[in-house]
């Protein structure tokens, strides 16, 4: 059994690479676009939860939540280049779902009823999609490398 020595750390006196204005604009734009996409995705998913075909519930909202949240996570991480960029869309999506589940309409109905299993699975699967993507990003290691 051989033990390998860890890779040497880069010298501490190396200056950090300069960030250009365009790079900052792309990072800020990535966060803004991912947040806007999160809002649109969450609203679409809420509208799809009561969807039925011949009286049978269709779980399209679950599929849209998983695919949409995965795409939003990938976009945020790719454009910003930092794992923290996954936090704002995840938190916003979760807040929208909690708000929808706890808010009554003027008639006294909930936007997401407790007996709507599709909505409950959508909330679970959508949040787990963000969680799994974030976990896998953490396991991959640093997203931005020095060049």
CA 95 – CA 93 distance, rounded (Å): 5
Extract the residue ranges of the chain whose pLDDT is less than 70. Answer: 1-19, 143-147
CA 141 – CA 52 distance, rounded (Å): 43
Tokens of 87: 């936090």
CA 4 – CA 38 distance, rounded (Å): 44
Give residue 73's pLDDT.
96
Give residue 3's pLDDT.
64
Give residue 121's pLDDT.
94
pLDDT tens string 116-145: 899 999 999 999 999 999 999 999 877 665
CA 27 – CA 18 distance, rounded (Å): 14
- Given a contact cutoff of 8 angstroms between Cβ atoms, the answer to whether 69 and 18 are in contact is no
CA 94 – CA 127 distance, rounded (Å): 7
CA 59 – CA 51 distance, rounded (Å): 8
Burial of 77 (0-12, 13-18, 19+ CB in 10 A): buried
Q: pTM to 2 decimals?
A: 0.79
């Amino acid at each position: 059994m051989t033990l390998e020595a860890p890779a040497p750390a880069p010298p501490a006196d190396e200056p950090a690479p300069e960030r250009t204005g365009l790079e900052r604009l792309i990072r800020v734009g990535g966060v803004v676009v991912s947040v806007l996409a999160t809002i649109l995705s969450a609203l679409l998913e809420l509208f799809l939860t009561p969807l039925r075909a011949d009286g049978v519930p269709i779980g399209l909202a679950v599929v849209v939540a998983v695919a949409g949240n995965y795409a939003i996570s990938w976009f945020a991480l790719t454009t910003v280049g930092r794992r923290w960029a996954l936090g704002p869309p995840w938190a916003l999506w979760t807040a929208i779902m909690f708000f929808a589940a706890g808010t009554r309409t003027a008639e006294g109905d909930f936007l997401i009823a407790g007996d709507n299993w599709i909505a409950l699975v959508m909330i679970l699967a959508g949040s787990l999609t963000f969680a799994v993507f974030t976990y896998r990003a953490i396991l991959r290691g640093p997203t931005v490398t020095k060049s």
